[in-house]
Amino acid sequence: MAQTNNATLIRREIITRLCRLYAENRLDEIDRIPLEMAPRNTTAHNSRCCIHKARAIIRYRIMALLGFNVADETDELETLYSYALRSLAGTDRGKGVLTVVDEACTSCVKSNYTVSNLCRGCLASHCMVTCPKQAITMENGQAKIDPARCVGCGLCQDACPYHAIIYVPIPCEESCPVKAIYRNAQGIEEIDYEKCIHCGKCMVACPFGAIMYRSQLIHVLHQIAKPAKPVVAMLAPAVCGQFRADYTAVADAVKRLGFTDVFEVAEGAVLTARHEAGELAAHLESGREFLTTSCCPAWVEMAHKHLPKFLPDVSETWSPMRYSASMIREKYPDAMVVFIGPCVAKQAEALKYPGVDFVMTFEELGSLMIALNVDFQDSDASVPGEVIRERAFAISGGVAGAVAQYYQGEVLKPLVINGINKKNIALLRKLSATKHDYNLIEVMACEGGCLSGPAGISAPAVARKLFNARSGISVDQIAITGF
């Protein structure tokens, strides 16, 4: 779920600056970005302790933007320019897609429970007595919780007659559906890549913007700049919810950025829907109970890492991205293929299969347009163009709907899981353990579908409105009753 808050805007400003430097052949000035963004005598660092910290954080953000995992830093003096060169030269990508900018992440509470100043330091001290870990002491007439001992059980909160103990959430941990992010011994969040499904929810949740996806943008810029091979972009179905422009105008703008050609992933989605309908019929005929969709890479990752029982029933049909890549290669056999979408997890999917060389986000696309002064007002392409119904893949319910169009077999009983969250995971677990009569289960990690993707341009409500106005299909007509 993309949101336009200050943390997002700072990320976009950095991306824009990087693109500009690259385009103007001034990449060697990249180490100036932190100085320019947090200049002396300003309040640009208002929510940080000092200018040096503000600059350090920007520096690590750029590191992630250059494709590095911030945790992999070995030499604090290594310049950003050196990172940029290493990134362009190397292919070693390290682990994970999301990375924690640890400098930025120190501001959350060390323990979920904290004693507010409503504490009267009462004689009974129910909290102290109740705490199973002896984490509470009385200091200066008020209770105090030692975060090193606190295990977050919450018994003290229930025990306090003054309601003086409050629960303070840690947004990233709270948002992670699979408990893949946790505080390490230094009190800084760390991502467990054995568990992470790359859904990007923590990135959206963190109010300090401390979690970033490792970008591949610099590689894309590099490919566009050296015209050795055609560089072909494909735009994910959610594209119609990103700008105040029809598909043809966006495609035209993408070409003006320097891409050789542009494809619509919805065309690949037509093939996905058709094949998945066939697979579903065959799957049910073979005696299996149901099939789940597989176009959401975070869901597929989730099944692999957390719900292995589902694996035999996760569709093996290629995702629209993969079909689109093979269509592109028919036309441009030696092309560099770039997927552009609202998704963080697509990066992990692209690494697993050959065909897609790089993954870029819509937010990066928008920032690149800013950097290169590409505006829609100077686009001639104002014809709405052909409407591909499979644009509905961007919406929760849309994939099941598209598969249903082509499906022939016993009566279809679809179930739409709208968003991977703790509640829906519990439901999925239940579905895998008990009998039910659903035979097609659509799962999307983002609530609302890809239109709410973590790296889209605008808030989900705006994206829905734009999509309704621009895609030629209506979000509300698509929605099949979901959870």
Partner 1 sequence: MTEKTEVSICFGTLCFIMGGSAFELLSEHLDEELREKTLIRGMNCPGYCNQTSEYGKPPFVKVNNTLISEANLQKVITAVKKEVLHGADK
The residues that touch partner 1, with contacts defined as CB under 8 A, are 4, 9, 12-13, 243-244, 363, 366-367, 369-370, 374-377, 457-459, 461-462, 465-466
Q: Closest separation between CB of residue 84 and partner 1, Å?
A: 23
Q: Is 109 or 462 the residue whose CB approaches partner 1 more closely? A: 462
Q: How far apart are CA 418 and CA 446, in angstroms?
A: 7
Q: Is 289 or 375 the residue whose CB approaches partner 1 more closely? A: 375
Supply φ then ψ for residue 235, to 5 degrees. -105, 125
Q: Closest separation between CB of residue 33 and partner 1, Å?
A: 16
Q: Closest separation between CB of residue 386 and partner 1, Å?
A: 24
What string of DSSP letters covers 308-348? GGGGGGB--SPPHHHHHHHHHHHH-TT-EEEEEES-SHHHH
Length of the chain: 483
What b/e sequence results for 187-222 when a residue is b if at least 16 CB atoms lie within 10 Å of its CB, and e otherwise?
A: ebbbbebebbbbbbbbbbbbebbbbbbbbbbbbbbb
Supply φ then ψ for residue 263, to 5 degrees. -120, 155
Residues 6+ apart with CB under 8 A from 424: 417, 418, 483
Q: How far apart are CA 4 and CA 365, in angstroms?
A: 15
Is 342 within 8 Å of 2 (Cβ atoms)? yes
Q: How far apart are CA 319 and CA 376, in angstroms?
A: 30
Residues 6+ apart with CB under 8 A from 352: none
Q: Closest separation between CB of residue 8 and partner 1, Å?
A: 8
Pairing between β-strand 189-191 and β-strand 142-145 as defined by DSSP bridges: unpaired
Q: Is 86 or 465 the residue whose CB approaches partner 1 more closely? A: 465
Structure tokens at 40: 């002396």
Q: Is 12 or 429 the residue whose CB approaches partner 1 more closely? A: 12
Q: Closest separation between CB of residue 10 and partner 1, Å?
A: 10
Q: How far apart are CA 223 and CA 237, in angstroms?
A: 24
Q: Closest separation between CB of residue 2 and partner 1, Å?
A: 9
Q: Is 462 or 480 the residue whose CB approaches partner 1 more closely? A: 462
Q: Closest separation between CB of residue 12 and partner 1, Å?
A: 6
Q: Is 68 or 243 the residue whose CB approaches partner 1 more closely? A: 243
**H-run or E-run covering 442:** strand 440-444
Q: Is 262 or 466 the residue whose CB approaches partner 1 more closely? A: 466
Q: How far apart are CA 441 and CA 183, in angstroms?
A: 34
Q: Closest separation between CB of residue 221 and partner 1, Å?
A: 17
As a dihedral over the C-alpha atoms of residue 445, residue 450, residue 451, residue 454, rounded to 10 degrees, the angle is 70
Q: Closest separation between CB of residue 366 and partner 1, Å?
A: 4
Q: Closest separation between CB of residue 1 and partner 1, Å?
A: 14
- Strands (DSSP E) along 174-253, which ranges? 181-183, 189-191, 211-213, 231-235
Structure tokens at 3: 């949101």
Q: Closest separation between CB of residue 458 and partner 1, Å?
A: 4
Half-sphere exposure of 23 (CA within 13 A, CB side): 16
Q: How far apart are CA 172 and CA 275, in angstroms?
A: 37
Q: Is 247 or 299 the residue whose CB approaches partner 1 more closely? A: 247
Q: How far apart are CA 278 and CA 271, in angstroms?
A: 11
Residues 6+ apart with CB under 8 A from 379: 245, 249, 252, 253, 256
Is 15 within 8 Å of 65 (Cβ atoms)? yes
- Grouping H, G, I as helix, E, B as strand and the rest as coil, residue 398 is helix
Q: Is 276 or 363 the residue whose CB approaches partner 1 more closely? A: 363
Q: Is 6 or 477 the residue whose CB approaches partner 1 more closely? A: 6
- Closest of 353, 358, 355, 354 to residue 341, by C-alpha: 358
Q: Closest separation between CB of residue 431 and partner 1, Å?
A: 36
Q: Is 335 or 446 the residue whose CB approaches partner 1 more closely? A: 446
Q: Is 250 or 335 the residue whose CB approaches partner 1 more closely? A: 250
